[in-house]
Amino acid sequence: MPLESMIEEFLMERGALAVGIATLETLAGGPPSADITYRMEGARSAVSFALPLDRDKIRAFLAKEDRLGHEEDNIRTNLRSKELSWELAEMLKKEGFQAKGTAANLKYRRDSEDWQLELHPDISHRYIAVRSGVGSYGWSGNVGLEGHGTAVILGTAVTDADLEPTEPIPRGKGFCDNCKLCYKSCALGMFDNKRETSVTLGGVTFSHAARRNLLLCDFTCGGFNGLARSGKWSTWSPGRFAVPDPEDHDNLLKEFFRAVDSYHRRPPIPGGFMHTALEGYRQYLTCGNCQLICWGNREDTRENVRILHGSGCIIQDADGELRALPPEEAEAAFNAMEPERRALYC
C-alpha cells in the first residue's frame, strides 16, 4: 500500500473527516507560518486533517444555555488533534522516516517583539489545510469542509518523507456560498463584509475577508469584551467596553491593555485554561462564534445566527455567576452595579 494511502487510512479510522498532503513546493512563497521546516528541520511534507466539534454543544453554547459543555468539547478536540498528529508521527517513524506532531493551538512564534499580540502560529494549520484540499476558506477566514462548515478543529503532522501532494479545492467549489452570516456573528466586526485579502501558496491564491484590526479579535475572543456593537446580544463575556475605532490602532491598543487589567480583577468562573501567551492569563471560551455558527449549509447557519442574536447579554454577578438576560434587563442590571464593580467591565 502506498504510504499516502496508509496515512489516509490511519487518520480516517481515528475520526478524521478529511486528509490532505502539502509539501515544501506546494507551500512555497507563503508567509512564515507556511514554512514547515520551522517545526522540524528537514521536513519535506505536511499531513493535514480535520476533526468535528459537537454540534449539540455548540447550539447550547450559542443559546447561552451551557458554556462549559462546548468549552470542554473544544479543549478535548484540540487535545485529540495534537494526540492524533503525534500518533501519526510515530507511525511514520516506524516506516523509517523522521516526523513530528504539532499542537492544534496555543503554540506561537516568539521571534517578534510583539509576538504576544500578533500570535503567529509556529506553523499554520489553515494554510496547510487549504493548500492540501482538506478544506477551503470561508468568508470569515476560518477553514471549513463541505457538509461540516467551519465547526472543525484542524491538525498537522510534518515529516521528511517525500509524499505526493493532494490538490486544493478549486475556487468556487468549496463549502462557502458567501452568505456572510459569519460577519453577523462577530460582536466587534473584526473582519470586513466587503473587502478581501489573499495569500499565495505554491502559486495558488486563496482569499477570504480582510481584517479590520486583529486587536478586535483579541478583545472579543480573548474574553475581555462581549457586548455586540448593536447592544442587543453578547458573547459569553460580561465585558461592555466602548471599543475605539479600529483605524485608531494606538488608542485601541491602549484600551485593550486597560481591558486586560480589568479582566484579571473579575471574579473567576468555572472551567478555562491557562493561555501560553500571557503569564497568569486564564482564558475561558466565551466566543469563537464566527467559526461555530457555520455548519456548511445556509439553513443551519442562519438558525445558529438566529439563536445567537436571541440569546441575550451576559452579566456577571458578584459571586462570579454568569447570567444571560434580555438586552434591556442586562443594561439595567449593569447600571445598577456599584461603580467599582461596574468598572471591571467597561
What is the distance in angstroms between the CA of the first residue and the CA of the last residue of the chain? 60
What pLDDT does 237 receive? 97
Burial of 111 (0-12, 13-18, 19+ CB in 10 A): exposed
130-143 average pLDDT score: 97
**Of 223, 259, 234, the residue nearest 244 (C-alpha):** 259
- Kindly report, residue by residue over 300-325, the tens digit of the pLDDT: 999 999 999 999 999 999 999 999 99
pTM of the full predicted structure? 0.94
Backbone φ and ψ of 267, nearest 5°: -60, 140
Q: Where are the domains of the chain?
A: 3-342
What pLDDT does 277 receive? 66
Q: Mean pLDDT lowest for which of 73-77, 117-121, 183-187, 219-223?
A: 117-121
Residues 112 and 147 sit within 8 Å (Cβ to Cβ): no
Q: Is pLDDT larger for residue 36 or for residue 218?
A: 36
What pLDDT does 172 receive? 87
| Residue listed under C-alpha cell 447579554 | 313
Query: Which helix (H) or strand (E) segment is 200 a member of?
Result: strand 191-201
What pLDDT does 198 receive? 96
What pLDDT does 117 receive? 64
Q: Mean pLDDT lowest for which of 14-18, 47-51, 171-175?
A: 171-175
Give the Cα separation of 68 and 321 in Å (integer). Answer: 13
Give the mean pLDDT of the chain: 93
Q: Taking CA 34 as the corner, what is the angle to CA 44 and CA 78, rounded to the nearest 5 degrees? A: 95
Q: What is the bridge-based pairing of β-strands 273-274 and 136-137?
A: unpaired
Residue 35 CA: distances (Å) to CA of 93, 240, 312: 21, 39, 43
Residue at 297: amino acid letter: N
Q: Is the pLDDT of residue 339 over 90?
A: yes
Residues, the chain: 346
232-244 average pLDDT score: 92
Q: Is the pLDDT of residue 115 over 80?
A: no
SS3 of 60-98: HHHCCCCCHHHHHHHHHHHHHHHHHHHHHHHHHHHCCCC
- Kindly report, residue by residue over 167-222, the tens digit of the pLDDT: 999 988 999 999 999 999 999 888 899 999 999 999 999 999 998 988 888 889 88
The distance of Cα 285 from the centroid of its chain, to the nearest Å, equals: 11
Please list, residue by residue across 203-213, b when 16 or more beta carbons sit within 10 angstroms of its beta carbon and e when fewer do: ebebebbebbb
